[in-house]
Structure 1
Amino acid sequence: MRPVPSRNDRGRRARWQKEGDDRFMERFLASGLALAFALLAVAAFARTPAAQTGPEVLEACEPGRQEIDARDLPRSVDPARCPVEGRVVEDGPVGSVVPPPGKGVYAEVLTTGGAEELGVRRLENGTIELEHVGGESGGARDAGAGSFALATKSLGECGDPAFDGSGWRVEDTHVYRINWRTTPRDVSRRAAISAIRQAGGNVADTVNGCGLGDRVPAGVAYKGYTARQAGVGGGACATDDGLSVVSFGSLSNPGNLAATCVHTRTGASGYDVVTSSDAKINKTDYHWTTEPNDRRCSRRWDIEGVMTHERGHTFGLGHVAEADHPSLTMGPTINGACQASERSLGRGDVLGLDKKYP
Structure 2
Amino acid sequence: MAFALVAGLSAFAGSAHASTTECKLPETGELGVEQLPTGSSVITCGAVGRVVVHDGAGVTVPEPGMAVSVDMLTVDGESHGFTLEVAADGKISYLLEGATADSSTAGYDVSESTTPDPQSDVPAEADTVTDSADSSTEAEVADVDAAASPSACSDGAYKTDDRKEYGTYNWYIGDGGLPAGLSKNDAIYVFMDALDNITDSYNNCGYSDSVGAKENYLATTSREASVNKSSQCTGQDGLSVWDAGDIKDTAVATTCSYTWSMPGVKNDLREADVRFNTYDKDFTNKPTSTCANRYFDVRSVGTHEAGHIFGLGHVGAGHENLTMYTDSFRCKTIARTLGKGEILALRSIY
Q: If the TM-score is normalised by the length of the shorter chain, which range does it land in?
A: 0.7 to 0.9
Query: In the aligned structure 1, how far is the partner of 2:149 from the partner of 2:94?
Result: 34
Equivalent residues in 2 for 1:15-30, closer than 5 Å:
none
2:315 matches 1:327? no
Deviation at 1:91, TM superposition (A): 1.4
Query: In the aligned structure 2, how far is the partner of 1:239 from the partner of 1:181?
Result: 18
Deviation at 1:116, TM superposition (A): 0.6
SS in structure 1 at match of 2:299: helix
SS in structure 1 at match of 2:47: coil
**1:179-212 residue CA offsets vs partner (Å, 9 max, x unmatched):** 2652257444444332211110001111011011
Deviation at 1:338, TM superposition (A): 1.2
Letter of the 1:95 counterpart: G
Equivalent residues in 2 for 1:206-225, closer than 5 Å:
206-225=201-220
Aligned residues: 292
Equivalent residues in 2 for 1:261-340, closer than 5 Å:
261-267=256-262, 270-293=265-288, 295-296=290-291, 299-321=294-316, 323-334=317-328, 336-340=329-333
Equivalent residues in 2 for 1:106-117, closer than 5 Å:
106-114=69-77, 115-117=79-81
Q: Which runs of 4+ in 1 moved over 6 A?
A: none
Query: In the aligned structure 2, how far is the partner of 1:171 from the partner of 1:268?
Result: 15
2:236 matches 1:248? no
Q: TM-score, normalised by structure 2?
A: 0.77
Query: In the aligned structure 2, how far is the partner of 1:170 from the partner of 1:72?
Result: 32
**Which of 7, 17, 28 is 1:65 aligned to?**
28
Structure 1 contact 153–325 (Cα < 8 Å) conserved: no
Higher helix share: 1
Deviation at 1:236, TM superposition (A): 1.0
Equivalent residues in 2 for 1:41-80, closer than 5 Å:
55-58=21-24, 61-62=25-26, 64-79=27-42
When residues 328 and 216 of structure 1 are mapped into structure 2, their CA distance, relative to the original with a 3 A threshold, is: same
When residues 296 and 316 of structure 1 are mapped into structure 2, their CA distance, relative to the original with a 3 A threshold, is: closer
Query: In the aligned structure 1, how far is the partner of 2:51 from the partner of 2:194?
Result: 30
When residues 184 and 281 of structure 1 are mapped into structure 2, their CA distance, relative to the original with a 3 A threshold, is: closer
Deviation at 1:77, TM superposition (A): 2.5
Letter of the 1:82 counterpart: C
SS in structure 1 at match of 2:286: coil
**1:59-98 residue CA offsets vs partner (Å, 9 max, x unmatched):** xx23x12321124443332446633022111114311110
Query: In the aligned structure 2, how far is the partner of 1:143 from the partner of 1:282?
Result: 30
When residues 268 and 136 of structure 1 are mapped into structure 2, their CA distance, relative to the original with a 3 A threshold, is: closer
RMSD over equivalenced CA pairs, Å: 2.5
Query: In the aligned structure 1, how far is the partner of 2:252 from the partner of 2:67?
Result: 24
When residues 330 and 144 of structure 1 are mapped into structure 2, their CA distance, relative to the original with a 3 A threshold, is: closer
Structure 1 contact 199–311 (Cα < 8 Å) conserved: yes
When residues 144 and 263 of structure 1 are mapped into structure 2, their CA distance, relative to the original with a 3 A threshold, is: closer
Equivalent residues in 2 for 1:85-234, closer than 5 Å:
85-114=48-77, 115-132=79-96, 135-138=98-101, 139-142=103-106, 153-179=148-174, 182-184=177-179, 186-234=181-229
Q: Which is bigger in relative contact order (C-alpha 8 A, separation at least 6)? A: 2
Q: Percent identity?
A: 30
Structure 2 contact 258–269 (Cα < 8 Å) conserved: yes
Letter of the 1:126 counterpart: G
Name stretches of at least 5 consecutive residues in structure 2 with no aligned partner: 1-19, 111-146
Deviation at 1:294, TM superposition (A): 5.4
Name stretches of at least 5 consecutive residues in structure 1 with no aligned partner: 1-53, 147-151
Q: For the pair shown, which has the larger CA radius of gyration, 1 or 2?
A: 1
Q: Which residue of 1 aligns with 2:10?
A: none
**1:18-64 residue CA offsets vs partner (Å, 9 max, x unmatched):** xxxxxxxxxxxxxxxxxxxxxxxxxxxxxxxxxxxx94324xx23x1
When residues 95 and 209 of structure 1 are mapped into structure 2, their CA distance, relative to the original with a 3 A threshold, is: same
Deviation at 1:143, TM superposition (A): 5.3
Letter of the 2:273 counterpart: D
